[in-house]
Structure 1
């Protein structure tokens, strides 16, 4: 059976050409790869998970103080059964929090990137939450350098296109499934909106990827590996050279369905004014341009948030 590969990113410094070829091939095949050797301290990941679990354990009334109605959940808390996968009849069975990039309030992007909220009830939330945001942001930029080289771009092509990106760290809590007939998987089949997503330490099985052959392939990580997948914005910018692959979170077929599941994806976004037109390097006779209209990443984001009922 096929398997999404796990590759050690330290090979980028020691075995660059082969690593670039292997990582690029993994993304062209699956839209997903597991990255090990990234150097993000275990203590930071564990500290962040601990803080997030403590927040989700608070009473609903307390959590709702951090829910900004009408904001599309851009920052703070979003309660259960709000987000709905595109074309899905049922809302996802999850609650989540959004940590965004800290930017100067006189930035030209301040109107689309609001300030963060921090729950006063959990003293370690800000330090660990933003520490993990920054660590995953740096790892994401390293992955994008590899992908740039793989399609013939300068290594640092993406650096100045993501340094003010509207990126989101999203701690998620999927409650235990207790009813016998639940209408939906925990998170419906969907593609991500952004450039790339980095998923650190999902606490239970359940993540599945749809292969080209139409089969659902479970992804389980080993050791320190972080799951990194392509989103729709990068798929568009690379003219589908890197596919944004459909994935879902299913209820495990065992006792784990009756346990809560926590996961923390980091959605790495380009800067709001980046234009997502297919790059010339990705347009060939065999792969002609698939888009004839221009759109900025912010316009694209707003369009998609409406589709998934967050705004």
Structure 2
């Protein structure tokens, strides 16, 4: 998997080639402020370490707020929940006041950057693929209330985890694309075409982008939504928390993805499969 220099003249082409081949692309020298990311990691680690998080228990219908360890997701095809807790951030949702400024600034900047990346993807989609997009990909996320920023916390492992439990079991994302700044610890892997697993380059400062099911649907399978996972660390790394900050870019609810689905119908189908709806 090639790391693409965002400032290179060849960046759009190389980035989309990587997405087509592996479902993942990795950017360096990108415009997302690493100092802002660091600040978010530090402040939200303190939040997850506190009892304050329980004041923001998630809303079953709106899906905003804090999802505790005990109610963590179970990946499709698995019967053991992931070893994680997380917080769902929407601009219209509940956010602790002292955490709001940084997280919403990150949400805004990264959503704007996503529109550029989606334009790259459309630019390098074959004409027979782009002909099926119901509107320009970058416009699908314009004024959407559905894009989700998830602040993920993988607590230290204590050695008594349930058999088969991992930080994030193999899964695909539901949305168009996901943008993820490299986490503060390694562990992210992507499944290759031959079925083996490959480490995603996670140098601190890299920006990782992957295709989600909705773009796979909209592109008729041209862009693959690839299985990925977060494996459990060993040794000293197992004693450390891991914070991750994926932004799941979603179209507006009425956007037509294919003859079968709008954003809303596809999302509902997948949330029911995950057992969170």
Instruction: Please report the TM-score for the alignment, with normalisation by the length of structure 2.
Output: 0.91
Q: Which residues in structure 2 correspond to 1:1-311 (within 5 Å)?
A: 4-11=1-8, 15=9, 18-59=10-51, 62-71=52-61, 74-82=63-71, 83-100=73-90, 102=91, 115-120=92-97, 123=98, 125-151=99-125, 152=127, 153=130, 157-165=136-144, 166-180=146-160, 182-183=162-163, 184-277=165-258, 293-311=259-277
- Contact between 2:67 and 2:87, CA under 8 Å: does it hold in 1? yes
Greater C-alpha radius of gyration: 1
List alignment gaps of at least 5 residues for structure 2: none
Q: Is the 8 Å Cα contact of residues 38 and 139 (structure 1) preserved in structure 2?
A: no
Is this contact kept in 2: 1:161–1:270, CA < 8 A?
yes
On the 8 A contact 2:75/2:82 being kept in 1, the answer is: yes
The unaligned stretches of length 5 or more in structure 1 are 103-114, 278-292
Tell me how far 1:70 sits from its aligned partner: 2.3
Deviations 1:109-149 (A, max 9, x none): xxxxxx311224xx2x1001111111211221111111100
Q: CA deviation at 1:71?
A: 2.7
What whole-Å deviation, never above 9, does each CA across 1:219-246 have from its counterpart, x for those lacking one? 1323521110000000010011110000
**1:207·1:249 contact (CA, 8 Å) conserved in 2?**
yes
8 A Cα contact 1:209 1:247, kept in partner? yes
Q: CA RMSD in A?
A: 1.8
SS at 1:171 equivalent: strand
Check whether the contact 1:92–1:185 (CA below 8 A) recurs between aligned residues.
yes
The number of residues matched between the two structures is 268
Q: CA deviation at 1:32?
A: 0.3
Q: Is the 8 A contact 1:78 1:95 kept in 2?
A: yes
Q: CA offsets per residue over residues 204-232 of structure 1, 9 Å max, x none?
A: 11111000011010113235211100000
Specify the SS of the correspondent of 2:69. Answer: coil
- Kindly report structure 1 stretches of 4+ aligned residues shifted beyond 3 Å: none
Deviation at 1:10, TM superposition (A): 2.1
